Amino acid sequence: MHGVWGNRWTFILAATGSAVGLGNIWKFPYITGENGGGAFVLVYLVCIALIGIPIMIAEVLLGRRGRMSPINSMHFVTAEANLNKAWTGIGWMGVLAGLFIMSFYSVVAGWALHYVVTLASGVFEGTTAEEAGKQFSDLLANPTMLMLWHTLFAGMTAIIVAAGVTRGLAAVAKILMPFLFLSLFILLGYGVAKGDIAAGADFLFAFRFDKLSAEAVLEALGHAFFTLSLGMGAIMAYGAYMPAHASLAKTVITVGILDTFVALIAGMAIFPIVFANPSIEPGAGPGLLFVSLPIAFGNMPGGLIFGTLFFVLVSVAAWSSAVSLIEPGVAWLVESKKLNRLNATFIFAGIAWLLGISALLSFNVLSDFTPLYLFNRTPFDFLDFITAQIMLPLGGLFIAIFVGWLMSRKILVKEMDAETHPLFDIWLIILRFVSPVLVAVVMIFALYKILFSS
């Protein structure tokens, strides 16, 4: 029997867990501060309304309509609409994207697990910038250590998925997400007490329209799409477990609000700590997480305790996202190949783990391996590029076109329970005419920037 979430809030917590990942904790806060603060947040919220929410509703709708894995759900809705079987490629591409993302995401999440241990052990107490930088570079140069953490994280993820919808995915949602929110508020309190809260708030929320360039708007568009885990099959798979009576639009909007809320609270927890240490650059990108913050925590009262909690938070956010990356493929193996869930998880997580080995070796043994067939990229960079810049945007674009233009209005109304609701037509217009154009713009700009910029 196909699993179903116990209630609407279980789906909300699970989908929020999928959406809240490493990008919320480090990427959103620093791109916000660097691109105009409050002005960027305003544009980002508009982008969430025009891209994120409409396409997420469409993806959940496909999953709930099909009540199967993304591949089989797309088979069902394609046959129901009497369309060419090629449209089932949306499901296949989503499952493949999840597999690819899991392979390198597990490597980065392994870094966070490593930092839980190093912060707790006191390594960063009184550390300097040079020492913190060396700690991170030494980790990347050590394939054995990277393999250990990559394997541990992949195993943690597989255990949850193998346990099933109710005992695994739902249980994680109900336990990990409240823990994540609690940890965020504890760290926020620490940032207020020990950090420079005024400087942090100014960096994130002051309206600096002079920094809101056209490129910043495109950054907001791109992040609004990627932050909700769209186009990778995860949300479609979770939609298949959604109770039939739950309000689809209200549920998805709640997920979007929670995802944005977590990102903003994370920023308010991080940047007061960053600004309390004048030597740290707030726009340091990934280095902010693994170099700058350990310096800050290592030189603040109680910093090692709260730094450890911070990296536990990062690991939990990554874990809740990773579970959703392999669930679509596992669900397909269970449905179509009649495997039991344990074996299906072992196979799919095992393939992701093997791919991840090439990703972790990209930082050491294979750092100079950039062949033409990988677009002159290391395996890690190639996996990131092919998913973030091609597969996910294409998935979101095709979902918008399929639901907006090819599914019957009668089915959409039934799934949305919106026969006379005025917002239904607004959603459909945005999904048809606005969302696909904006996703295409993001994709074309990103590809141009990567392939042709010096």
Give tens-digit pLDDT for 277-316.
877 776 666 677 898 889 999 999 999 999 999 999 999 9
| pLDDT value at residue 115 | 97
- Structural domain span for residue 374: 8-452
Percent of all residues in the chain with a pLDDT value above 90, rounded to a whole number = 76
In this predicted model, what pLDDT tens digit does every residue of 252-268 receive, in sequence order?
Answer: 999 999 999 999 999 99
Q: How confident is the model at residue 448 (pLDDT cuts 50, 70, 90)?
A: confident
- Check pLDDT > 60 for residue 454: no
Domain total of the chain: 1
In a domain, 3, yes or no: no
- Nearest Cα to Cα of residue 283 among 259, 263, 267, 298: 267
Judge whether 244 lies within some domain. yes
Q: Which of 5, 19, 20 is closest to 64 using CA atoms? A: 5
Candidate from 46-60, 98-112, 132-146, 217-231 with smallest mean pLDDT: 217-231
Q: Specify the pLDDT at position 372.
A: 85
Structural domain contains residue 447: yes
**Of residues 136 and 167, which shows the higher confidence score?**
136
**Residue 92 pLDDT > 90:** yes
Confidence of residue 364 (pLDDT cuts 50, 70, 90): very high
Residue 426 inside a domain? The answer is yes
Residue 93 has what pLDDT? 97
CATH of residue 245's domain is 1.20.1740
The stretch 202-225 carries a mean pLDDT of: 91
Q: Which two tokens stand for residue 186?
A: 């504890």
Q: Would you state the pLDDT for residue 284?
A: 60
Contact call for residues 89 and 317 (beta carbons, < 8 A): no
- List the one residue out of 201, 166, 162 whose CA is nearest residue 334: 162
The token pair at 122 is: 């006191």
Is residue 423 in a domain? yes
pLDDT tens, residue by residue, 384-423: 999 998 999 999 999 999 999 999 999 999 998 876 678 8
Q: Which residues, other chains included, contact 251 with Cβ-Cβ below 8 Å and sequence gap of 6+?
A: 8, 11, 12, 15, 60, 242
SS (H, E, C) the chain: CCCCCCCHHHHHHHHHHHHCCHHHHHHHHHHHHHCCEHHHHHHHHHHHHHHHHHHHHHHHHHHHHHCCCHHHHHHHHHHHCCCCHHHHHHHHHHHHHHHHHHHHHHHHHHHHHHHHHHHHCCCCCCCCHHHHHHHHHHHHCCHHHHHHHHHHHHHHHHHHHHCCHHHHHHHHHHHHHHHHHHHHHHHHHHHHHHCCHHHHHHHHHCECHHHCCHHHHHHHHHHHHHCCCCCCCHHHHHHHCCCCCCCHHHHHHHHHHHHHHHHHHHHHHHHHHHHCCCCCCCCCCHHHHHHHHHHHHHCCCCHHHHHHHHHHHHHHHHHHHHHHHHHHHHHHHHHHCCCCHHHHHHHHHHHHHHHHHHHHHCCCCCCCCCCHHHCCCCHHHHHHHHHHHHHHHHHHHHHHHHHHHHCCHHHHHHHHCCCCCHHHHHHHHHHHHHHHHHHHHHHHHHHHHHHHCC
Mention every residue, 6+ apart, whose C-beta is less than 8 A from residue 85: 75, 78
* Rounded Cα gap, residues 114 and 315, in angstroms: 10
CA dihedral 353, 311, 268, 129 (to 10 degrees): -100
CA 393, CA 4: separation in Å to the nearest integer? 28
Q: What percent of the chain has pLDDT over 70?
A: 98
Residues belonging to the chain: 454
Q: At a CB cut-off of 8 Å and minimum separation 6, what does 238 contact?
A: 5, 11, 14, 15, 18, 60, 63, 169, 324, 327
Residue type, 390: I
pLDDT at 104: 96
Please tell me the predicted confidence (pLDDT) of residue 1.
44
Residue 132 lies in a domain: yes
Average pLDDT along the chain: 92
Looking at residue 2, its pLDDT comes to 60
Give domain status of residue 169, yes or no: yes
